Amino acid sequence: MAQTAKRDYNLLGPSSEAAIASGLAAAEWYHTEVDRKQMKALMQRSDGPAIRDTVIWLGSMLVLAAGGIYFWGSWWAVPFFLGYGVLYGSASDSRWHECGHGTAFKTRWMNNVVYQIACFMIMRNPVTWRWSHARHHTDTVIVGRDPEIAVMRPPDLFRVILNFFGILDAGCAMLDMVRNAAGVVTPEEKSFIPEMEHAKVIRVARIWLAIYLATLALSLWMGSILPLMLIGLPRLYGAWHHVLTGLLQHGGLADNVTDHRLNSRSVLMNPVSRFIYWNMNYHVEHHMFPMIPYHALPQLHELIKHDLPTPNKSIIDGYREMVPAFLRQLRNEDYFLKRELPATAKPYREELHSGVAAE
Amino acid sequence: MAQWIEACGAGDVDEEDVIRFDHGGRVYAIYRSPEDRYFATDGLCTHEQISLADGLVMDDIIECPKHNGRFNYQTGEAKGAPVCVNLRTYPVKVEDGAVFIEV
């Protein structure tokens, strides 16, 4: 049956009510069967890989920032800030994500410290986004339920392009921060953040606002945007990589389904992008088994790939598939890319997807 | 009235692991700690009712497989977002190679 009703992404709107009424919300999701011992081995936590990667990440930022400051005023500063920006405005996206799951490090306080730092860089309130991401995993790309749908239908491609430079994202994040700092938590936020956490949302927003105001004051005092180039602005000029990779996660694929093989995309990527992205290119695998640490996702991929769609061969390959789908969705928002499963894969649970139009 | 129910064999639960036990319309989780002690809690996460038996036991923590919510499985205490509500725990005894829980 074709889906004809216009999508309403409001978390408090009729699509949300319909998803709850139909059982789509908080439904049971498809999982590939994996032997418990193998799964347990993959789930094991380790501090080593994340400490190594965090030292490289923050150490590189320090070196690049020092270079940028040293060469400030000359064109030689540009490559330093380009590198610094990506590590600040893009690598922070995967760091808040992994540490939010609590899987990056074995030691909990290490997860929490990196989570707070990365959330600040990517301008995502650590309390709000912990809860919104829990909802994203419960109701992945369920219209009216998932607060983290990057590209809605029909797609707003102008907004998508602007966000490669963080222009709308960061602007909205700053407004949210000021609003939260003023003590206001919206009804939409309240729909997924428990009341006992609201005070934390407000406290974090006030601390961040103080940091940004101090940075702004320092810039004004120095008569230079250099402090802002180091704190705040990298969220704009370094955002492109996290948008580049993040759009591939679910872009152009099915919505309102309960099988991550249908609504998520795995993409084989170059090692640099995989470092920045912390292996979230294995996105079907991550959604199916969020317990698996980022460093074990390649092993998980090898273990279950017989049951998953063939991953895209590269970022470019993913965009060759996704962009035409976005363009078709401009004319027909019900269009989506239907993933092909290997012959050995278990079939979709079609009875759960009867309300979705396929092509 | 509370009663002791045989939940599983002592060897059914691997060391530092968890299994699911269904009884009387309820789901329980049976744990074996690294120190070879047995514990029992409600088997569904208090956040969104996911079976904890698919989760990961780390020391005295059970981590939910869906949202990585954590509980101390010995006390049932919720250890941070996204879980806020504690798990109910149950007395456990091991007799003749079987694990009994009092429900």
- The per-residue DSSP string of A312-348 comes to BSSHHHHHHHHHHHHHHHHH-TT--BPPPPPTTSPPP
Residue B60, burial from CB neighbour count under 10 angstroms (0-12, 13-18, 19+): middle
Please answer yes or no on whether A45 and B70 come within 8 Å at the CB atom.
Answer: no
Cβ contacts (< 8 Å) between A27 and chain B: which residues? none
> Which pLDDT does position B48 carry in this prediction?
84
Read off the tokens for B89: 């725990």
> Which pLDDT does position A1 carry in this prediction?
44
Q: What percent of chain A has pLDDT over 70?
A: 96
> Which pLDDT does position A349 carry in this prediction?
65
A191-217: per-residue pLDDT in tens? 889 999 999 999 999 999 999 999 999
Please answer yes or no on whether A138 and B66 come within 8 Å at the CB atom.
Answer: yes
> Does position B97 have pLDDT exceeding 90, yes or no?
yes
The conformation of residue A30, written as its DSSP 8-state character, comes to -
> Does position A24 have pLDDT exceeding 90, yes or no?
no
**What is the three-class DSSP state of A43?**
helix
Q: Which chain A residue has its CA at the smallest distance from B64's CA? A: A291
Please answer yes or no on whether B70 and A290 come within 8 Å at the CB atom.
Answer: no
Dihedral sign, CA of A95, A97, A102, A104?
A: negative
CA A175 to chain centre: 20
Euclidean distance between CA atoms A128 and A118, whole angstroms: 14
**Which of B50, B58, B66 is most worth mutating to test chain A (most A CB atoms within 10 A of its CB)?**
B66
> Does position A35 have pLDDT exceeding 60, yes or no?
yes
> Does position B25 have pLDDT exceeding 70, yes or no?
yes
Cβ contacts (< 8 Å) between A103 and chain B: which residues? 68
Strand order across the B38-42 sheet: B17-23, B26-32, B38-42, B89-90
Of the partner residues A26, A131, A137, the one whose CB lies closest to the CB of residue B81: A131
Please tell me which residue, A181 or A7, carries the higher pLDDT value: A181
Task: Find the chain B residues whose C-beta atoms sit closer than 8 A to any C-beta of A.
Answer: 17, 47-49, 54-56, 58, 63, 65-68, 70, 81-82, 84
Euclidean distance between CA atoms A31 and A126, whole angstroms: 29
> Residues A294-311: what's their mean pLDDT?
96
> Does position A110 have pLDDT exceeding 50, yes or no?
yes
Euclidean distance between CA atoms A357 and A4, whole angstroms: 9
Q: Which of A147, A93, A97 is nearest to A121 (CA)?
A: A93
Read off the tokens for A236: 């704009």
Cβ contacts (< 8 Å) between B81 and chain A: which residues? 127, 130-131, 134, 197
> Does position A224 have pLDDT exceeding 70, yes or no?
yes
Which CATH number covers residue B40?
2.102.10.10
Of the partner residues B56, B66, B82, the one whose CB lies closest to the CB of residue A43: B56
Phi/psi region, residue A105 (left: phi>0; alpha: psi -120 to 50; beta: rest), is beta
> Does position A4 have pLDDT exceeding 50, yes or no?
yes
Single pTM value for the model: 0.91
First-to-last alpha carbon distance for chain A, in angstroms, is 12
The conformation of residue A239, written as its DSSP 8-state character, comes to -
A114-161: per-residue pLDDT in tens? 999 999 999 999 999 999 999 999 999 999 999 999 999 999 999 999
Please answer yes or no on whether B66 and A137 come within 8 Å at the CB atom.
Answer: yes
Residue A247 near residue A325 (C-beta atoms within 8 A): no
Of the partner residues A26, A138, A291, the one whose CB lies closest to the CB of residue B65: A291
> Does position A43 have pLDDT exceeding 90, yes or no?
yes
Cβ contacts (< 8 Å) between B66 and chain A: which residues? 137-138, 290
Q: Which of B9, B3, B18, B23 is nearest to B94 (CA)?
A: B9
**What is the three-class DSSP state of A310?**
coil
Of the partner residues A39, A101, A194, the one whose CB lies closest to the CB of residue B68: A101
Q: Which chain B residue has its CA at the smallest distance from A103's CA? A: B68
Q: Which chain A residue has its CA at the smallest distance from B17's CA? A: A40
Cβ contacts (< 8 Å) between A290 and chain B: which residues? 65-68
Read off the tokens for B33: 């700690």
Please answer yes or no on whether A291 and B63 come within 8 Å at the CB atom.
Answer: yes
Q: Which of B86, B95, B103 is nearest to B38 (CA)?
A: B95
> Does position A322 have pLDDT exceeding 50, yes or no?
yes
Residue B79, burial from CB neighbour count under 10 angstroms (0-12, 13-18, 19+): middle
Domain range holding B52?
4-102
> Does position A354 have pLDDT exceeding 50, yes or no?
no
Number of domains in chain B: 1
Tokens 């309403």 — which residue? Answer: A8
Length of chain A: 359
> Residues A212-227: what's their mean pLDDT?
98
> Which pLDDT does position B45 carry in this prediction?
94
What integer best gives the mean pLDDT of chain B?
93
> Does position A352 have pLDDT exceeding 60, yes or no?
no
Euclidean distance between CA atoms B2 and A323, whole angstroms: 61
Residue A101 near residue A216 (C-beta atoms within 8 A): no
Euclidean distance between CA atoms A240 and A94, whole angstroms: 13
- DSSP for chain B, written as a single string: ---EEEEEEGGGSPTTEEEEEEETTEEEEEEE-TTS-EEEEESB-TTT--BGGGSEEETTEEE-TTT--EEETTT--B-BTTB-SPPPEE-EEEETTEEEEE-
Of the partner residues A106, A196, A290, the one whose CB lies closest to the CB of residue B66: A290
Q: Which chain A residue has its CA at the smallest distance from B47's CA? A: A134
B30-61: per-residue pLDDT in tens? 999 999 999 999 999 998 888 999 999 998 99
